[in-house]
Chains A and B, each alone.
Chain A
Amino acid sequence: MTDNSTYAPSSRQWQTIALRFGLYAILLLFALYYLMPLFVMITTSLKSLDEIRTGSLIALPRDVTFEAWRVAWSGACTGIKCEGLSPYFWNSVQLAVPAVVISTMIGALNGYVIAQWRFKGANIIFSLMLFGCFIPFQVVLLPMAKMLGLLNIAGTIPGLIFVHVIYGIGFTTLFFRNYYVSISQELVKAAKIDGAGFFRIFWSIFLPLSLPIIVVTVIWQFTQIWNDFLFGVSFSQAGTQPVTVALNNIVNSTTGVKAYNVDMAAAIIAGLPTLLVYIFAGKYFIRGLTAGSVKG
Chain B
Amino acid sequence: MATILDNPILEIKNLDKNYGSLKILKDVNVAIEDGDFLVLVGPSGCGKSTLLNCIAGLEPITSGSIAIGGRDMTDISPKDRDIAMVFQSYALYPTMSVAKNITFGMKVRGVEKAKRDEKLAYVAKQLQIEPLLARRPGQLSGGQRQRVAMGRALVRDPKLFLFDEPLSNLDAKLRVEMRTEIKKLHRELNASMVYVTHDQIEAMTLATKIVVMKGGVVQQIGTPAEIYTHPANLFVADFMGSPAMNLVPSKAKKNGKGYSLTIERDDAAPLILKDDKAQNLPEDVIVGIRPEDIGDAQLRKGKGLQVSDCLVNVVEPAGADTYVLMGLGGKEVVARVQGETHASAGEMMPFTFNMAKVSYFDPKTGLRLN
Contact = CB atoms under 8 A, between A and B. Distances in A.
Contacts of A140: none
B2 interface: no
Residue of B78, B88, B93 ringed by the most chain A CB atoms within 10 A: B93
B108 A195 contact: yes
Interface in B76-91: 77-79, 83-85, 87-91
Interface stretch (A76-84, A169-177, A203-211): A203-211
B94 A296 contact: yes
Given A205-B95, A209-B95, A194 B104 contact: yes
A192 interface: yes
Given A195-B79, A296-B94, A189 B108 contact: no
A193 B83 contact: yes
A190 B104 CA distance: 11
Nearest to B94: A294
B185 interface: no
Nearest to B83: A193
B137 interface: yes
B93 A191 contact: yes
A208 B136 CA distance: 13
Contacts of A53: none
A195 B84 CA distance: 11
Interface string B142-179: 00000000001000000000000000000000000000
Name the prevailing secondary structure of the A interface residues.
Answer: helix
Given A205-B95, A209-B95, A296 B105 contact: no
Contact of B91 (A186, A200, A209): A186
A205 B91 CA distance: 11
A187 B94 CA distance: 9
11 contacts: A189-B91, A190-B87, A192-B79, A193-B56, A193-B58, A193-B84, A195-B108, A204-B93, A205-B95, A296-B90, A296-B94
A166 interface: no
Contacts of B105: 193-195
Residue of B91, B96, B104, B138 ringed by the most chain A CB atoms within 10 A: B91
Given A192-B58, A294-B94, A295-B138, A184 B89 contact: yes
Contacts of B87: 186, 189-190
A192 B95 contact: no
Interface of B: 53, 56, 58, 77-79, 83-85, 87-96, 104-105, 108-109, 137-138, 152
A204 B104 contact: yes
Nearest to A194: B105
State the 8 A-B residue pairs at the shortest beta-carbon distance, nearest first.
Answer: A194-B105, A186-B91, A195-B79, A190-B91, A208-B95, A186-B87, A195-B108, A184-B89
Contacts of B88: 186
B58 A189 contact: yes
A196 B312 CA distance: 62
Contact of A184 (B91, B104, B152): B91
A193 B93 contact: no
A196 B110 CA distance: 11
A186 B56 CA distance: 12
Contacts of A208: 95-96
Contacts of B89: 184, 186, 296
Contacts of A200: 108
Residue of B84, B90, B95 ringed by the most chain A CB atoms within 10 A: B95
Contacts of A195: 79, 105, 108-109
Contacts of B79: 192-196
A190 B137 contact: no
Contacts of B152: 190, 194
A191 B84 CA distance: 11
Contacts of B92: 190, 296
A201 to B, nearest CB: 10
A193 B85 CA distance: 7
Nearest to B77: A192
Nearest to B153: A193
A187 B93 contact: yes
